[in-house]
Structure 1
């Protein structure tokens, strides 16, 4: 893959790139409808292919928060047309890498030395490149290391990038700007944290140690003396990303073992630590044929407020959903409904969220759950399609749900999606107080 020699860094340079991409997309529409005059069989999917290519190419050059938002959207298969989802998935671990001279410049800025002077050997060709940084292989005293180098200017461009992305989010989510702002603030705070490798180092050590007892999972050992706010060094973990792992045709036993490890990892963080690795895309998990798995990248971590935790998870118990007064109180606390809703809106949104909770909470209602059940996931996708067509939702300009839901929902969506691809059957261990009553 061709490397980049520079990244647009100033607000003007990045805004210009956005504008140029907009012109390209506009040109694609003109070309598409011109071609349709001569070829009636040309589909909207062809237009999506062209636009997805141009937009991804642009975001890959910009890197940072713009590319990270694309990565986040790729995790929701219902949010974007297939062409966009497939293209944006590449942002998880296959973006164009930064050129060698820029990598050396970063090391010289923070360590006063080149990577070759710090390590016994350092591969200038990136092993993986994502939205915020790229990983290089290095050796020191016989140990194989992974060295994550952040792209220059990423941290400083977050606020301006999100301002440019916001109009797109307003249109996509059909909300007014004020309501989008609270979600954008949550995204911005997490992106700023992800660019602070000193914070990531501390969280990586703390969460790795806290989760070290979980079976079939291992973590890297981090090297603080070779890390700083823009460079993070750790021991190398072997394994394959989910797509490559599945191509090895693992047995059902191995799929179940890895699936159980994933479930246990997230179950312990959410219900015991109240702090969770909130970036559950396949690029952060390294799976092996013996049923073990390495977990990397604690840059995006969500700390769950106690009051939000209590309100959010108590709804898993069907007995609570059967109590209209209690449910109304919890829905208000979670910002699903509000004091300005009309009686019709209260009924509509209450029933809508009850249906969603029952559907998405189904894995918690039995001791084991088969995430390979296509019928279950079809029902989720079908319900998503139904929601997208509801007039009441299309015309609603009010955001529904707390800002905390953004990363908690994203975490569960990513977990469910990976377990579904693994076709894993897992024991849905959970705290006693979350057990559903029969």
Structure 2
């Protein structure tokens, strides 16, 4: 009793059909615009939105890995038309839910009883639904309000088939002999972790103990009502970024929540422990008592120490504009090939990565930085669109998730238009890296 195709053939057919349809739409659009050059940009916007909606509709049927891709599209900073990011943001918490009978069946299988026997009350309508599960409000028999996350059927079983299909497609595009296995294994292991709700429960406990003393609200894991595919946690009141912005918040409110986001991620670095690596609006709440709520801990990463130290060291070397040290780090991190020299064929990758890195280092140049500056947003989008095309993978596989954290954070702050004080974050980085940040 399931709404989802789970075989490799069924899922591959949907992905192929979607790709062909969207590709044909864009090809026809290109020809039409060549013939009629008076098409307006407004029509362009509508065209991109309709195609994005088509992709989202088909990916919704697949859920799982496919919707994880859609979530990635929602954080895009320039590779895709902006309309794709707007539509795909629905993949963060507004996916059509599974039917009520299936929800009851899953709870009976996982927890041994139907919801009316387990809880004082249970809302059969999901209030949030995303890539691998949907969330229902409930009240425990002891009176605690909780959120019950229920995993969609067959999600775990489809990860390998989805990634196998993606890998087959990728091998047609990359340079012959390129090793793409580490990238796919990194994604696979992370997705498998995300489907283990007991693991997520333990991460909730860990983050609750680490951050509950700050202005950060972390739910509590309710282990006795949790399994590998059902997760119970205390319920947090708040609103997501889109809802918050519709309230027309004051600059002070924007700055306040932006500062909490900025500080949360830098405090994680200080602990040298697991880092929340799923930085999209659906995973954060702006609570009514002015705290930052963090509500999803499926994708948390503990990066290898050597890699992560080299990654962090990119910041001071870019601020110092130290080409030799930057080049050395890029080689260690796999961005450019070993033994490269200034002016050789690797120079185009070096120049792009350095300029992009300089942009991401910009907030640390002063004690206060304004993410609401439209020029900063344009600069990030410019470098994203101007990325050198290559048919060979570049960069360590762990960049997949460090980039997700970094780009996701900046994207949230840009949407907030927040002014951030960077003093504490520079103190943390100085302590970890044993460097001094020079006054602007």
Distance 1:315-1:40 versus aligned 2 partners, 3 A rule: closer
Instruction: Return the match for 1:414 from 384, 405, 408.
Output: 408
Distance 1:38-1:363 versus aligned 2 partners, 3 A rule: closer
Distance 1:38-1:177 versus aligned 2 partners, 3 A rule: same
Aligned-partner SS, 1:316: helix
Q: Which residue of 1 aligns with 2:305?
A: 306
Aligned-partner SS, 1:134: strand
- Residue by residue over 1:78-102, the C-alpha shift from the partner in whole angstroms, topping out at 9 and shown as x without a partner, is 1222332222111001111011111
Contact in 2 for aligned 1:278/1:410 (Cα 8 Å): yes
Distance 1:322-1:56 versus aligned 2 partners, 3 A rule: closer
Q: Which residue of 2 aligns with 1:181?
A: 181
Q: Which residue of 2 aligns with 1:365?
A: 365
Quote the offset at 1:281 in angstroms: 0.5
Q: Which residue of 1 aligns with 2:221?
A: 222
Q: Which residue of 1 aligns with 2:290?
A: 291
Q: Which residue of 1 aligns with 2:374?
A: 374
If the length of structure 2 is used for normalisation, what is the TM-score? 0.89
Quote the offset at 1:41 in angstroms: 4.9
How many Å separate the matches in 1 of 2:168 and 2:73? 15
Aligned-partner SS, 1:397: coil
Q: Which residue of 1 aligns with 2:136?
A: 136
Contact in 1 for aligned 2:197/2:229 (Cα 8 Å): yes
Contact in 2 for aligned 1:285/1:296 (Cα 8 Å): yes
Superposed CA RMSD in Å reads: 2.7
Distance 1:31-1:99 versus aligned 2 partners, 3 A rule: farther
Distance 1:272-1:434 versus aligned 2 partners, 3 A rule: farther
Aligned-partner SS, 1:7: coil
Aligned-partner SS, 2:139: strand
- Residue by residue over 1:256-289, the C-alpha shift from the partner in whole angstroms, topping out at 9 and shown as x without a partner, is 2211111111101123234210011111111135
Distance 1:97-1:379 versus aligned 2 partners, 3 A rule: same
- Residue by residue over 1:101-127, the C-alpha shift from the partner in whole angstroms, topping out at 9 and shown as x without a partner, is 111111122122112211111111100
Q: Which residue of 1 aligns with 2:419?
A: 425
Quote the offset at 1:36 in angstroms: 7.0
Contact in 2 for aligned 1:316/1:436 (Cα 8 Å): no
How many Å separate the matches in 1 of 2:48 and 2:176? 26
5+ unaligned residues in a row in structure 1: which ranges?
388-392
Contact in 2 for aligned 1:70/1:91 (Cα 8 Å): yes
User: How many corresponding residue pairs?
Assistant: 427
Quote the offset at 1:162 in angstroms: 1.8
5+ unaligned residues in a row in structure 2: which ranges?
none
1:18 partnered with 2:18: no
How many Å separate the matches in 2 of 1:176 and 1:99? 45
Distance 1:331-1:323 versus aligned 2 partners, 3 A rule: same
If the length of structure 1 is used for normalisation, what is the TM-score? 0.89
Distance 1:197-1:272 versus aligned 2 partners, 3 A rule: same
How many Å separate the matches in 2 of 1:18 and 1:356? 32
Counting only pairs closer than 5 Å after superposition, residues 4-403 of structure 1 correspond to structure 2 as 6-25=3-22, 28=25, 41=38, 45=45, 47-140=47-140, 141-166=142-167, 178-214=178-214, 216-318=215-317, 322-339=321-338, 344-387=344-387, 393-394=388-389, 396-403=390-397
How many Å separate the matches in 2 of 1:227 and 1:242? 28
How many Å separate the matches in 2 of 1:409 and 1:107? 36
Distance 1:176-1:62 versus aligned 2 partners, 3 A rule: farther
How many Å separate the matches in 2 of 1:87 and 1:294? 24
Quote the offset at 1:167 in angstroms: 5.6
Distance 1:290-1:143 versus aligned 2 partners, 3 A rule: closer
How many Å separate the matches in 1 of 2:23 and 2:406? 36
How many Å separate the matches in 2 of 1:411 and 1:26? 30
Distance 1:437-1:274 versus aligned 2 partners, 3 A rule: farther
Distance 1:176-1:379 versus aligned 2 partners, 3 A rule: farther
- Residue by residue over 1:114-147, the C-alpha shift from the partner in whole angstroms, topping out at 9 and shown as x without a partner, is 1221111111110001011000011112221100
Quote the offset at 1:191 in angstroms: 0.8
Distance 1:178-1:198 versus aligned 2 partners, 3 A rule: farther
- Residue by residue over 1:276-325, the C-alpha shift from the partner in whole angstroms, topping out at 9 and shown as x without a partner, is 10011111111135422211100000112111122111221148854444
Quote the offset at 1:39 in angstroms: 6.8
